[in-house]
Amino acid sequence: MSRAGRRKGSRLRWALGVTVAAAGLWVGVLPAAGAESSPDPVDVAKSIMSPVCPGRLIADCPSPEAEQLREVIRRQVKQGKSKQEIIDYFVEVYGPSVRPAPPHRGFFLTAWYLPLALMLSGGGVIFLLLRIWSRYEGGAAAGGAPAVESPKDPEYQKYARRLDQELKEYDL
């Protein structure tokens, strides 16, 4: 084996060793698959709309009632509940309006798909109108005169001469 081949092989082994070592360190840092860490109360509060401050998250609501709701979230986190369990509790108590986004089921699907359907149908209408308008020569309406008359037309020539004459008189 040549010297260049040995160098290339040693570099490859070195790169493979570094990759394996990095992967081993990463796996050691990651939590076990079954172990679930407790959620951050602030993160949970940013995932629930406030029932007392319309249009605001519980984390952003300045009212005293929202502080009580944040305390409820902190207690539930201390009890070991997951983020989804806490959100489900608030949905059960205050209704689905505390979700920042509507659920992906039932009638709520209209909130997800209606804007898309409106945009697609609006785009289709614009496309059809542009196709219809582009079929008319010169942009004129059906059966009407062209929008711009030809300079060779005698009527056009008459108005062009009159315009030139009036412009010359104006420039006195």
CATH number of 62's domain? 1.10.8.640
Tokens, residue 151: 């300079």
Separation between Cα atoms, residue 73 and residue 43, nearest integer Å: 10
pLDDT band for position 9 (cuts 50, 70, 90): low
Q: What is this structure's pTM?
A: 0.45
Could you tell me if residue 132 is inside a domain?
A: yes
Phi, psi dihedral angles at 52 (to 5 degrees): -105, -20
Could you tell me if residue 58 is inside a domain?
A: yes
Torsion of CA 51, 53, 56, 57, to 10 degrees: -50
Range of the domain at 16: 1-30
Mean predicted confidence (pLDDT) in 34-56: 82
| Domain end residue (candidates: 83, 100, 117) | 100
pLDDT band for position 25 (cuts 50, 70, 90): low
Tokens, residue 100: 């920042």
Separation between Cα atoms, residue 16 and residue 95, nearest integer Å: 54
List, for residues 80-138, the tens digit of each pLDDT value: 999 999 999 999 999 888 888 777 777 778 878 899 999 999 999 999 999 888 887 55
Separation between Cα atoms, residue 111 and residue 117, nearest integer Å: 11
Could you tell me if residue 36 is inside a domain?
A: no
Tokens, residue 93: 């108590």
Look at residue 33 in the predicted model and tell me its pLDDT.
Answer: 47
Single-letter code of the amino acid located at 120: L
CB 59 within 8 A of CB 100: no
Look at residue 34 in the predicted model and tell me its pLDDT.
Answer: 45
Look at residue 86 in the predicted model and tell me its pLDDT.
Answer: 92
My answer on whether 165 and 118 are in the same domain is: yes
My answer on whether 114 and 142 are in the same domain is: yes
Residue holding tokens 């406030």? 50
My answer on whether 46 and 88 are in the same domain is: yes
Buried b (16+ CB within 10 A) or exposed e, 137-154: eeeeeeeeeeeeeeeeee
Residue holding tokens 């059966």? 143
My answer on whether 24 and 48 are in the same domain is: no
Look at residue 11 in the predicted model and tell me its pLDDT.
Answer: 72
Tell me how many domains the chain contains: 3
Look at residue 38 in the predicted model and tell me its pLDDT.
Answer: 78
